[in-house]
Amino acid sequence: MQIRLLRAGDEPAVLTLWDRCMGEQFPLDSALFEQNVLRDAHFDPEAVWVAEDNGGNLLAYAHAKVCREPLGSAGMMPEQGWIGALAFLPNEEGLQAARLLLQTALEWLKAKGRKRVNYGSDPAHFFPGVPTEQTLHQQLLREAGFTIGEHVAVDLVRELADYRVPEEVEANLQRLHEEYAIRSCTPDDVPALLRFLQQEFPGRWYYETAKRLEVEDTPRDILILTHGDEVVGFCHTFHRGSKRIGPSIYWRKLLGEAYGGLGPIGLAGSTRGKGLGLALLCKGVEYVKQQGAQRMAIDWTDLVDFYGKIGFRVWKRYHPASRRI
Ligand SMILES: CC(C)(COP(=O)(O)OP(=O)(O)OC[C@H]1O[C@@H](n2cnc3c(N)ncnc32)[C@H](O)[C@@H]1OP(=O)(O)O)[C@@H](O)C(=O)NCCC(=O)NCCS
């Protein structure tokens, strides 16, 4: 068995390996692999490894990340490192290779001066944590010194055929319409949107929104809640036309051709509790449906009851996995 850095031309074999490891639950394609790994701002070609047998067949894959540009106000997170994904053949050889890659990744992160490592939740993450059903991953992570937390973060899903904005939500919006409005973000709104995010969600949500705006042709898939000239809420939506493959549509192959997604969503602290968060969510889902989606997901949340109000149900579950080095 040999461990080496990923080389140009390895991608098809990595995708095949990933597919054999977890393709049914997390089907990876080259567009997403390139976005989240090879073209991500935090990608380091020295931190992406494969293990292969003597015949050159891939047995395992892993990549690690450290911040290479500030995540908004969270900055460079100099003590934090991540292992972004681990894929391996589901046999003894594959497990052995995965163990070696985990050690390789941990050593690299240690050499980078990292004090804490998480599995998943990295910038341009694939996973918020370790998926609940990935018991072999959990076993490998535990063996490598990780603690798997009890807390569960979830992705949610909903069919859209029967979806309509509930009447009481429309009525609430009507009641508040002189003060508040919900609409698509226009290029002219972008400075106010970024000001709002810097004020209310200055870390990763600010960072990810700014990054998304760099690649999309238009900001219209971000819905905004406005109060006069001010932006006081935001909601990312995704669909087939989106350039950025947002986390809610990572696993779009499972959602079907007419896929959609939503999140993050957030309101200014002072605006919460008036039914406007629910209204923005409902209008976001309506917008996604209007773009042709028939099935959509909401990623990485623990607000099951909030999204459950309009029929979203749990789809995927993840546990936090971390260790100190
Ligand atoms: C989550 C958020 C968008 C909700 O907006 P809001 O304006 O505070 O909530 P609303 O007033 O629209 O609430 C509507 C309903 O949802 C419920 N709800 C609101 N927040 C909830 C939460 N965190 N968990 C469970 N239910 C919630 C309310 O109790 C209310 O229920 P009711 O109609 O039965 O009384 C807002 O609180 C927010 O921006 N939070 C910080 C960012 C965040 O956590 N975003 C979601 C990340 S996945």
Residues 57 and 194 in one domain: no
Assess whether 166 and 297 both reside in one domain: yes
Could you say which of 114, 145, 176 is where a domain stops? 145
In a domain, 150, yes or no: no
Domains: count for the chain: 2
164 and 313 assigned to the same domain: yes
Nearest residue (by CA) to ligand 1, atom 37, is: 272
β partners of residue 234: 224, 266
Euclidean distance between CA atoms 61 and 89, whole angstroms: 9
pLDDT value of position 100: 98
pLDDT grade for 134, boundaries at 50, 70 and 90 = very high
Q: Is residue 184 part of a domain?
A: yes
Boundary (domain end) residue, out of 115, 145, 175: 145
Q: What is the pLDDT of residue 213?
A: 98
d(CA 25, CA 307): 22
pLDDT at 147: 98
Banded pLDDT at 31 (limits 50, 70, 90): very high
Average pLDDT over residues 157-182: 97
pLDDT at site 258? 98
User: What's the length of the chain?
Assistant: 325
Mean pLDDT of the chain: 98
Cβ 267 under 6 angstroms from ligand 1: yes
Structure confidence by residue, pLDDT tens digits, 274-293: 999 999 999 999 999 999 99
Average the pLDDT over 88-115 and give the result: 98
State whether 273 and 191 are in the same domain: yes
Cβ neighbours around 20 below 10 Å, total: 16
Label residue 311 left, alpha or beta by phi (over 0 means left) and psi (-120 to 50 means alpha): left
Range of the domain at 63: 2-145
Same domain, 72 and 213: no
Q: Are residues 221 and 135 in the same domain?
A: no
Q: Return the residue whose CA atom lies nearest to atom 38 of ligand 1.
A: 266
Pair (116, 243) in one structural domain: no
305 CA to middle of ligand 1, Å?
A: 9
Domain final residue pick, 96, 117, 145: 145
Q: How far is the CA of 23 from the centre of ligand 1 (A)?
A: 34
Q: Does residue 57 form part of some domain? A: yes
Q: Could you report the per-residue pLDDT of 239-287, keeping only the tens digit for each?
A: 999 999 999 999 999 999 999 999 999 999 999 999 999 999 999 999 9
Distance CA 300, CA 248 (A): 8
Is residue 35 domain-shared with residue 62, that is, in the same domain? yes
Domain membership flag for residue 261: yes
pLDDT category of residue 18 using cuts at 50, 70 and 90:
very high
**Residue 167: inside a domain:** yes
Residue where the block lists tokens 């006069």: 228
Q: What is the mean pLDDT of residues 108-133?
A: 98
CATH number of the domain enclosing 10:
3.40.630.30
Q: Is residue 324 in a domain?
A: no
Instruction: Return the DSSP state at 320.
Output: -
What pLDDT score does 125 carry?
Answer: 98
- Kindly state whether residue 62 falls inside one of the protein's structural domains: yes
Does 247 lie in the same domain as 125?
no
Are residues 204 and 231 located together in one domain of the fold?
Answer: yes
Mean per-residue pLDDT, 178-197: 98
Contact 210/227 with Cβ under 8 angstroms? no
Q: Is the CB of 228 under 6 A from ligand 1?
A: no
Same domain assignment for residues 53 and 118: yes
Cβ(169) – ligand 1 distance below 6 Å: no
Q: What is the DSSP string of 35-48?
A: IIIITSTT--GGGE
Q: 38: CA distance to ligand 1 center in Å?
A: 36
**Residue 290 falls within a domain, yes or no?**
yes
**Ligand 1 centroid distance, CA of 312 (Å):** 14
Instruction: Give the global pTM.
Output: 0.97
The rounded percent of the chain whose pLDDT value lies above 70 is 100
Q: Does residue 133 sit in the same domain as residue 167?
A: no
Nearest CA to ligand 1 atom 23: 303
Given this model, what pLDDT does residue 216 score?
A: 98
